[in-house]
């Protein structure tokens, strides 16, 4: 299969979507502002303003979804292989928009941004935000860009939660959605995994109640949080085939020592250290809490009934080996949309990679998503 | 089904199995001693000394498997419902022996025991121990008790690893084994989960390199380790049905706060706090490391070939919803024993409770294990 071309060089842009201190009304009722949004776009918006695809990101994602910022960049955006001329999200036809979420740490206003009232970073004074707040801010961005209709909203994990909220909050704007490896409301096991990750961060003495700027912050706790998360993103099978029981110490006498290390442990260390360099611990707390509060039913009535708000097209994708967001949650999403009258489809991505499959299985997803996009008007 | 009677009042006994400083040769080649073992027995040893059942314990278990120490005890031993007159492990017929493992913290010599050379607790100076060392120490205990033949060795998780080593280390003594929710060698995903739990402990500034006695020790880190472990012992389904998305804060305004708490979070806190009160952090490090090193193949040749050392009876039990030790590992154990000529059987415990099912599903296990025991000579 021809996987198309990449989008080439791109840049992150910035726009203020709420300029006054209390302009934005959050789901909590709290007023907040100003809000600046970091975003990227690929392709061209058409005259009617109706060829837009939104790609919300997952927990540690960002607006840089496709292409490279400089010719020297070693890696492209996190969903690069799905986006570009001739790719599943074809930039010859569509205008792809991706924004860093509110509460984030990659350009959009979040806990590490400066609080204009104090001149210091918000830290723990940042207001609680929800998945609906993330979507509302993206909606304001789209208004600013002159977008009137959305062809599709596509994303996995926390991105998938935003996809679902897009459908329920702005059903008249959205033609189709593709939620991947997400659920309609966060399950207790996911809340539990998020809770221990937050405990790892807040238990680090360098966390200082969230007011650790500009210091190094809770490096060790944040690294541990990422290590725990990393385990949940994969599967027993993928760990076994990638690392097995390979031992990393060179000296045989190290084997019978408490300090010995298997390769898999080094990999976890590496994942922890890598995230610490690019991610803010407070954002980690705020976004995992937003995920915990994710519940399509909240304030809308009976859970299974709220799906009837959206009558567009749905492609719900589950991953066969995902134990964090097991596939029956994506089957449930499909089932409830279908029951409510939407043109809904379910597809199981057969993969050994666990939850992370939506960031790995580009060939399989490209085929399926390209096929789905062709069924749209 | 009549579940039989309990064993009544019991007591933990103590015996010195190695009295000299270097009497015990560990698998690592290191010499160690003295070693005292805490153990309990239920039922009577027969004249021939061949009606013994060994019940090794899991990570946070202990020798107190059945009965109560005082009439006031609110809870009985951890496998009480399987052991007693008329129960699956029938104390009218069998002499049941359970010992705390070496490296433990519930009576048997471990890191919190006094090092006779320094007069202080060993702490991080305790030698690395392996599953084979645990079994060797139990073997010495049995010799002391005059036991010549073992009817069966039965246990789950880390107990199951000891069960398997019993079969391979002392095949001539053991008639039957029942390994539950264990594997023949620890998988990478399990090593990864153990590693983050150890990181939670060693990252706590109160850990002090393992020399924290008599101080409180790494309470927060140890609690976090237990919280992480607790998630892995259950299943998405059991978390969902027990807690769902029940919110625990009473005041509605607490909902939109970073400090809000779901019931499942309180439960995790509780599990962490409970273990901290009764368990030693160094023991947690040593035993998880022993599990990481669990590999029936080590030093014995080709992994699948080593199963041929045991030609007795095998009942390998897997739990349908266990994602920590998925059932295909128990199927593999059965398969390799069978292939090597043993009278091996596999039974799937259908349960929503995940890995913990072997500590919960007493009725189902009683039936199956009682049935299996009746097939023995």
Residue to test with chain B: of A124, A183, A188, most B Cβ within 10 A:
A188
User: How many Å apart are CA A157 and CA A314, to the nearest integer?
Assistant: 16
ipTM over 0.90: yes
pLDDT of residue A364: 98
Query: How far away is chain A from the Cα of B234, in angstroms, using its nearest Cα?
Result: 9
3-state secondary structure of A175: strand
Scanning B232-261 for CB atoms below 8 A from A yields: 234-236, 239-240, 242-245, 255-258, 260
Residue B355 bears catalytic tag: yes
Q: How many CB pairs under 8 A join A and B?
A: 144
Q: For residue B240, give how far its alpha carbon lies from the nearest alpha carbon of chain A (Å).
A: 5
Enclosing H/E stretch for B136: helix B131-144
The domains located in chain A, with CATH, are 13-186+296-374 (3.40.50.1820), 191-287 (1.10.1740.110)
Mutation test of the interface with chain B: which of A245, A261, A328, A353, choosing the one with the most B Cβ atoms within 10 A?
Answer: A245
The answer to whether B205 contacts A203, with C-beta atoms less than 8 Å apart, is: no
- Contact criterion met (CB < 8 Å) for A189 and B257: no
**Could you say which of A113, A157, A235, A344 is catalytic?**
A157
Q: What percent of chain B has pLDDT over 70?
A: 98
User: Edge-to-edge, what's the strand order for the sheet holding A313-319?
Assistant: A13-18, A35-42, A95-99, A52-54, A150-156, A174-180, A313-319, A343-349
Q: Is A124 on the interface with B (CB under 8 A)?
A: yes
According to the model, what pLDDT value does residue B186 have? 98
Q: How far is B136 from chain A (nearest CA, A)?
A: 17
* Per-residue pLDDT tens digits of chain A, which is 377 residues long: 567 889 999 999 999 999 998 999 999 999 999 999 999 999 999 999 999 999 999 999 999 999 999 999 999 999 999 999 999 999 999 999 999 999 999 999 999 999 999 999 999 999 999 999 999 999 999 999 999 999 999 999 999 999 999 999 999 999 999 999 999 999 999 999 999 999 999 999 999 999 999 988 999 999 999 999 999 999 999 999 999 999 987 676 778 998 899 999 999 999 999 999 999 999 999 999 999 999 999 999 999 999 999 999 999 999 999 999 999 999 999 999 999 999 999 999 999 999 999 999 999 999 999 999 999 98
Binding site of B for substrate, by residue number, is 226, 356
Identify all chain B residues contacting A293, using CB atoms and an 8 Å cutoff. Answer: 255
| CA gap A80, A98 in Å, rounded | 12
| Strand pairing report for B31-32 and B83-84 | unpaired
Contact between B323 and A323 using a beta-carbon 8 Å cutoff = yes
Question: Does A180 touch chain B if contact means CB atoms closer than 8 Å?
Answer: no
pLDDT of residue B59: 98
Judge contact between B11 and B69, C-beta under 8 A.
yes
Mean pLDDT of chain B: 96
Residue of A nearest to B124 (CA): A258
B168: left (phi over 0), alpha (psi -120 to 50) or beta: alpha
- B281-292 helix and B219-232 helix, angle to the nearest 10 degrees: 40
pLDDT digits (tens, 9 = 90+) for B268-323: 999 999 999 999 999 999 999 999 999 999 999 999 999 999 999 999 999 999 99
Query: Of B187, B258, B268, which is closest to A285 when you measure between CB atoms?
Result: B258
Please report residues of B whose CB lies closer than 8 A to that of A220.
203
pLDDT for A254:
79
- Predicted local distance difference test score (pLDDT) of residue B255: 87
Report the chain B residue with the minimal C-alpha distance to residue A28: B256
For residues B332 and B362, is the Cβ–Cβ distance under 8 A? no
Task: Determine how β-strand B120-121 pairs with β-strand B150-156.
Answer: unpaired
pLDDT of residue A2: 63
Note the pLDDT of residue B252.
67
Contact A188 B245 (CB under 8 A): yes
Predicted pLDDT of residue A165: 98
Task: Report whether A226 belongs to an annotated binding site.
Answer: yes
At B254 the pLDDT is 79
Asked if B192's CB is within 8 angstroms of A265's CB, the reply is yes
Task: Give the pLDDT of residue B32.
Answer: 98
- When pLDDT is averaged across residues B52-68 and rounded to a whole number, the result is 98
Contact B28 A326 (CB under 8 A): no
CA distance B194 to chain A (A): 10
**Looking at beta carbons, which residues of chain A come within 8 Å of B285?**
258
Put simply, the chain A residues between 274 and 303 with a CB less than 8 A from any chain B CB are 285-286, 289, 292-293, 295
**From A235, A322, A334, A344, the catalytic residue:** A322
The shortest C-alpha distance from B228 to chain A (Å) reads 6
Q: Catalogue the E-assigned strands of chain A.
A: 13-18, 24-25, 31-32, 35-42, 52-54, 83-84, 89-90, 95-99, 114-115, 120-121, 150-156, 174-180, 313-319, 343-349
Residue A295 labeled ligand binder: no
**Residues of chain B contacting residue A29, judged by C-beta atoms under 8 Å apart:** 256
A228 and B CB contact within 8 Å: yes
CA distance B195 to chain A (A): 7
Q: Is B364 in the A-facing interface, judged by CB distances under 8 Å?
A: no
Closest partner residue to A224 among B26, B28, B199, by Cβ?
Answer: B199
* Greater pLDDT, B329 or B248: B329
Record: contact B239-A189, CB cut-off 8 A: yes
Q: Which residues pair with B35 in a beta bridge?
A: B18
**Bridge partners, residue A314, by sequence:** A177, A344
Which pLDDT belongs to residue B248?
A: 85
Secondary structure of residue A371 in the 3-state scheme: helix
Q: Can A322 be counted among the known catalytic residues?
A: yes
- Using an 8 Å CB-CB cutoff, list chain B residues near A228: 196, 228
| pLDDT tens readout for residues B209-264 | 999 999 889 999 999 999 999 999 999 999 999 999 999 876 767 789 988 999 99
The candidate with the shortest Cα–Cα distance to A213, out of A104, A102, A112, is A112
Whether residue B258 and residue A193 make contact (CB cut-off 8 A), yes or no, is no
**Residue ranges of B 1-60 with Cβ closer than 8 A to chain A:** 26-30
Q: Which chain B residues are closer than 8 Å to A266 by Cβ?
A: none
Contacts of A234 in chain B (CB under 8 A): 189
Dihedral pair phi/psi, residue B214, rounded to 5°: -90, 10
């Amino acid at each position: 299969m021809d996987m198309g071309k990449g989008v080439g060089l791109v840049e992150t842009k910035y726009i203020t979507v709420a300029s006054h201190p209390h302009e934005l009304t959050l789901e909590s009722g709290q007023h907040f502002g100003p809000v600046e949004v970091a975003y990227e776009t690929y392709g061209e918006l058409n005259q009617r303003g109706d060829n837009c695809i939104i790609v919300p990101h997952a927990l540690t994602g960002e607006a840089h979804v496709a292409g490279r910022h400089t010719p020297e960049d070693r890696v492209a955006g996190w969903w690069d292989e799905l986006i570009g001329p001739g790719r599943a999200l074809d930039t010859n036809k569509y205008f792809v928009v991706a924004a860093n979420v509110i509460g984030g740490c990659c350009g959009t206003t979040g806990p590490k941004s400066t609080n204009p009232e104090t001149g210091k970073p918000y830290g723990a004074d940042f207001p609680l935000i929800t998945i609906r707040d993330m979507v509302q801010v993206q909606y304001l961005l789209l208004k600013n860009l002159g977008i009137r209709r959305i062809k599709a909203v596509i994303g996995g994990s926390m991105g998938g939660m935003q996809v679902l909220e897009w459908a329920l909050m702005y059903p008249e704007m959205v033609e189709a959605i593709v939620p991947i490896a997400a659920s309609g409301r966060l399950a207790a096991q996911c809340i539990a995994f998020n809770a221990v990750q937050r405990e790892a961060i807040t238990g680090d003495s360098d966390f200082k109640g969230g007011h650790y700027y500009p210091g190094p912050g809770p490096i060790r706790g944040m690294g541990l949080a990422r290590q725990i998360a990393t385990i949940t993103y994969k599967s027993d099978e993928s760990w076994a085939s990638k690392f097995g029981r390979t031992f990393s110490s060179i000296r045989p006498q190290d084997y019978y020592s408490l300090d010995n290390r298997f390769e898999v442990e080094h990999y976890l260390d590496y994942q922890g250290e890598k995230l610490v360099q690019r991610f803010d611990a407070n954002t980690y707390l705020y976004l995992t809490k937003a995920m915990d509060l994710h519940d399509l039913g909240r304030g809308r009535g009976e859970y299974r009934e709220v799906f009837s708000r959206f009558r567009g097209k749905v492609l719900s994708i589950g991953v066969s080996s995902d134990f964090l967001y097991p596939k029956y949650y994506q089957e449930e999403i499909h089932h409830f949309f279908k029951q409510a009258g939407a043109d809904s489809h379910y597809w199981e991505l057969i993969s050994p990679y666990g939850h992370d499959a939506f960031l790995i299985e580009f060939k399989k997803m490209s085929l399926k998503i390209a096929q789905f996009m062709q069924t749209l008007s």
